[in-house]
A and B are shown apart, each in its own frame.
Chain A
Amino acid sequence: MATQQTLYNYIWQHSRRDQLTILCIAIAAQPFYFLTLSLPKLIINGPITGNGFEASNATQEFMRFVIAVPSWLATQAGNQWVVFEGVALERLPFLLALSFSFLALVGFNGFLKFLVNTMKGRLGERLLRRLRYELIDRVLRFPPSHVRKIKQAEIASMVKDEVEPLGGFTGDAIVWPVFLAGQALTALTFIVLQNFWLGMVSGTIVVVQAIVIPYLRKPILKLGKLRQFQARELAGRVGEIVDGNADIRVLGTSNWERAEIASRLARIFDIRFELYQRKYFVKSLNNFIAQLTPFVFYAVGGYFVITHQLDVGQLVAVIIAYKDLPGPIKELIDWDLQRQDVEIKYNQVMEQFQPDGMEPPAQASQPGAASNQLEQFELKNVTAVDDAGFVLLDDLELSLPLDKSIAAIGPSGSGKEALGHLFTRQLSLKAGSIKSGQFDLLSLPDIVSGRRFAYAGPETYFFPTDLKQNLLYGLRLATRNVGPGGNAQHLRQMKEAERSGNPPFDSTADWLDYSAFGTTDPNAIRDRIVEILAMVGLENDVFQFGLQSRLDPQTNTAATDRIVEARQELHRRLEQPELSPLVERFDEQAYNRNASIAENILFGASSDPLLQPHNLPGLPHFQRIVAEEGLEQHLVMMGLSIAETMLELFHELPDDHPFFDEFSFIPSNELATFQQIMKRAKSSSLTYADRAMLSVLPLRYVEARHRLGLVTPEIRERLLAARRTFAQTLPAGLKSRISFYNEDAFNASASLQDNILLGRVSYGVAQAQDRVNALIREILDQLDVRDLVIEAGLAFHSGAGGKRLTTGQRQKLGLARAVIKEPDFLVVNGALANLDDQQKTQIVDRVLRHRKGRATLWILTKDDLASRFDRTLTFEHGRLVSDIGNSDMHEAAQ
């Protein structure tokens, strides 16, 4: 859609057939509606008042259907053609027959209404689905310069909220006004037929209503538009505040943000308030006009009845008919308002989604295109500029073969980064061309570019899913449609998608393009993943993630046995004198100096938040144990000792000193409270609350780490006794929620690492953590369970935007995601900027070895790695200043 369509064009184009069907039903419903109006008159005037039943057993023809025939066709029978003679009924049966006909008609009308409403709803939903899909499809085709300008929250608000009323309106766009107008006209006609003057009066009032009300509503509409605009901006601002939260706090500008938001809210308030005032004024006026007519009916109609120009039945019918008149009129006016509102919204949204330079609509999967091989890239006179028109690359002539590794170096901003960016196709060319055989790089279909080249930059977006999904995201290239062989549910979905202009893609299918692996065997693929992870130096991290995760014993029974085996092997090895200091094992009979006091009492793991060590003080069972084992006094004394040390250490530090978070047992805002407590302790008059606060402090105390010498042999014995009683007297309700440490059993609530260690890595032994990790790895390798841990590590959730990963890990993962595609042409653009030199060198070496004989263009942040590449391009001020092969460089050096 290059030119903008109007809303009505759009609706008509995509829902013509449904609209017409509904319209037919709506029109067909009108005569029945007319009948429901006239029946009450027949009932009152006929059987109730007794007209035509004057004789005691007089009958009337029920359902007699007569069509008047023009006189020139008239036969002997007169100028009537009797279609149905009718059934002769006495007064009471006639009343019942009419009443039941009324009931049946009301039911039938209701059914038609239901039918029309459902059809309208479905029609609206289909159009809404189509529109939303189109909008998101457009977002995927936005030119990069536009993407950089838009605010994601605003776009999201448009797609999600602003088009929503369009769906509701679509069903009403054509049918509703016709239906309402028909209803109003029927009612009006009916009234006119009863009494001309009453009809004229109500007609006039309707016309006045139809002119005055829309006029008064115009400004309301304008305000509504303004409100929409402000609300969207607000959504954008809220998005900014969330995104920029860290910077806002660091810069201390939160009050400015508050002021800005407050003034925005004030503006929205003003607009909305004025809107309300006007809206309710119009509403009350409308109501008044609507009530004016019944007044006329009672006064004038009553006069007619009294003077016998009108019978009571007619007046009642008029009043009933009139009751149905303002309704449709009001709704017609509402509808018109909604129409204008929705048209404005549609136009506004469409404007936002029609930037210049949008990519063409997605091509349907062309199996041929994907198999097209790239050829060497030829850059001719390439001049690229950024959004501000600054020249990034100046008249670049270059050919990039597909079998060489190429390094691009130069100072930052020299144009080397822009060279990399060219291949993301996010940079606009001012002049020149980039060709690969028959293809122009910039118009290369996604399907080819997605398979044939890959790009890793310094910042990569990760989806909030697990590591594996993120790693393989770039391989979701195999377009899968809902198959014709699918079940009925599938087929229905496919049909519905087609009706809404959505593609027949099946997102539940496996979209992985296995050609990059050359196999579909899950084990081989996992090996490949491990290989790539090792290549980018991420294997260890993933392994650690795996060790930190829990394993579900239900689905991994064999694995849990292996983990227990690994534990036994580790413990065997730890018996060697040089290794034994590394880990302090959990021993039911011994106090663990490397675990906290709380952990020592709990002596188990739980996935229940209530049963975490730091939450113990709130657990009634724990409180009971502390009291019964006579621990309370000891905890208070330890608490006093800790509080004294903390006050000594931290009382001079400013409240926001980073040490508080990391080291203090007492947060800075509670120091003063504890100072008071200490004073009371000296005069030995601690309150109950003081004692409670003090007794919580030592629970986090780890003897080996904090080294305050608090856990004396006597206390140790008492803590061990508490541990035993805690487990023995555990209430039944808690039993299933905690798994105590047991030398011979897998602990489903503890992480893999805790399961293997079944102890704590010792504080104070140099490199203990690293050495233990190495040991664990070795043992897991030996037992062949490494894959299991890697698998668990790959299930690690990366967090929103990959925030649970460090910058270095994100960069490595970004590179891995590009490498695993096994592209013909790999571009790495400063993707390792945050890693140290040693890691950078190792990764470059490993990746180059892996990609030998294929093209790799690496934009280096440090020039000294260039000698590892086949060819080096040097940039300065946007120009290529030297282009030499590696062998030449060696020669030049010699």
Chain B
Amino acid sequence: MSIHAEVDLLRRIPLFASIDTSKLKLLAFTSERLTFASGAVLFREGDRGDSAYLILSGVVSVSVASPKGDVVVASIGSNNIVGEMALLGEMPRTATLTATEPLETLKIKKEQFFQLLRDLPQMTLEIMRELAARLNNANKELAAAHAKLRAAGLE
């Protein structure tokens, strides 16, 4: 796949929808195209985060460790960015990501990611929007969990 095809793919991702083609091309050019075989691990929970991945094609499963072994909590498909939390928060990876089918990604290193945020304020806004949505989701789930616990008479 040439860089032009990658740019076409990038444009379909909501996060990058509003960004110039030349900037997307720069992003594609400065990032590493990585393919993962099915079953390969992108990163593990607790690792130090040094890069985010843009999924160009394929699906990854998100799993977290629990006393009963790893539990898959989500699946993420193409046109999504994963692993950016570790870059933004300077914390270890919060989950393990495994390719469940052959995976094509664009690996964005930490330095490039921050450089991108500096150069592209629109993208920063998009990320904030995304984070707010996730926080909102988490709050809702927390409230639901509380309600469940209360209903079970545990609190």
> A residues bordering B, Cβ < 8 Å?
578, 581, 645, 648-650, 652-653, 657-659, 662-663, 706-709, 763-767, 836, 838
Contact = CB atoms under 8 A, between A and B. Distances in A.
B33 interface: yes
Contacts of A709: 2-4
B22 A707 contact: no
Interface string B108-122: 000100010001000
Interface string B9-20: 000000000000
Contacts of B34: 764-766
Contacts of B36: 766
Contacts of A659: 26, 30, 115
Contacts of B26: 649-650, 659
B147 interface: no
B73 interface: no
A706 B48 contact: no
A234 to B, nearest CB: 39
A846 to B, nearest CB: 19
Contact of A707 (B2, B40, B48, B111): B2
Contacts of A836: 48
B115 A764 contact: no
B37 A707 contact: no
Contacts of B48: 836
Contact of B32 (A645, A648, A763): A763
B42 interface: yes
Interface size class on chain B is 20 to 34
Nearest to A649: B26
A707 B46 contact: no
A653 B22 CA distance: 11
A836 B34 CA distance: 25
Contacts of B40: 766-767
Contacts of A663: 29-30
Nearest to B118: A657
Interface in B90-106: 105
9 contacts: A662-B30, A663-B30, A706-B3, A707-B6, A709-B2, A709-B3, A765-B35, A766-B105, A838-B46
B1 interface: yes
Contacts of A764: 32-35
B37 A649 contact: no
B25 A648 contact: yes
A650 B3 CA distance: 15
Nearest to A705: B32
A830 B119 CA distance: 38
A652 B32 contact: no
A645 B24 CA distance: 12
A648 B32 CA distance: 19
Contacts of B119: 653
A704 B24 CA distance: 19
Nearest to B25: A649
A331 to B, nearest CB: 69
Contacts of B22: 648-649, 652
A765 B105 CA distance: 10
A767 B40 CA distance: 9
Contacts of B4: 709
A662 B26 CA distance: 12
Which residue of A658, A707, A767 has the most chain B CB atoms within 10 A of its CB atom?
A707
B31 to A, nearest CB: 10
B2 A708 contact: yes
Interface in B20-57: 22, 25-26, 29-30, 32-37, 40, 42, 46, 48
Interface in B75-97: none
Contacts of A763: 32-33
Given A578-B37, A709-B4, A766-B35, 20 more contacts: A648-B22, A649-B22, A657-B115, A658-B111, A658-B115, A663-B29, A706-B29, A707-B1, A707-B6, A707-B29, A707-B33, A709-B3, A766-B34, A766-B36, A766-B37, A766-B40, A766-B42, A767-B40, A836-B48, A838-B46
Contacts of A766: 34-37, 40, 42, 105
Contacts of A653: 119
Nearest to B1: A707
Nearest to A764: B33
A662 B2 CA distance: 20
Contacts of A708: 2-3
Interface in B129-151: none
A838 B45 CA distance: 12
Task: Among A578, A708, A766, find the residue whose CB has the most chain B CB atoms closer than 10 A.
Answer: A766
Contacts of A662: 30
Closest 8 pairs (CB-CB, A-B): A709-B2, A766-B36, A764-B33, A649-B26, A707-B3, A766-B34, A663-B30, A648-B22
A785 B140 CA distance: 59
Nearest to B53: A766
A709 B37 CA distance: 24
A649 B29 contact: yes
Contacts of A648: 22, 25
Nearest to A836: B48
Contacts of A706: 3, 29
Nearest to B111: A658
B113 to A, nearest CB: 13
Contacts of B33: 707, 763-764
Contacts of A765: 34-35
Contacts of B30: 659, 662-663
Contacts of A578: 37
Contacts of B105: 766
Nearest to A768: B34
A648 B23 CA distance: 9
A530 to B, nearest CB: 27
Contacts of B115: 657-659
A684 to B, nearest CB: 25
Nearest to B36: A766
Contacts of B3: 645, 706-709
Interface in B50-66: none
Contacts of B37: 578, 766
A765 B40 CA distance: 11
Nearest to A659: B30
A713 to B, nearest CB: 15
Nearest to A762: B35
B117 to A, nearest CB: 14
A292 to B, nearest CB: 80
A709 B4 CA distance: 9
B90 to A, nearest CB: 12
Nearest to B20: A652
A889 B42 CA distance: 39
Contacts of A581: 35
Contacts of B42: 766
A799 to B, nearest CB: 24
A471 to B, nearest CB: 27
A663 B109 CA distance: 13
Contacts of A652: 22
B37 to A, nearest CB: 7
A534 to B, nearest CB: 21
B83 to A, nearest CB: 13
A228 B115 CA distance: 51
Nearest to A646: B29
Nearest to B27: A649
A578 B37 CA distance: 9
A767 B105 CA distance: 13
A536 B119 CA distance: 40
Contacts of B32: 763-764
A309 B29 CA distance: 106
A703 to B, nearest CB: 10
B96 to A, nearest CB: 15
A66 B4 CA distance: 116
A765 B115 CA distance: 24
A766 B35 CA distance: 6
A172 to B, nearest CB: 64
A653 B33 CA distance: 23
A709 B1 CA distance: 9
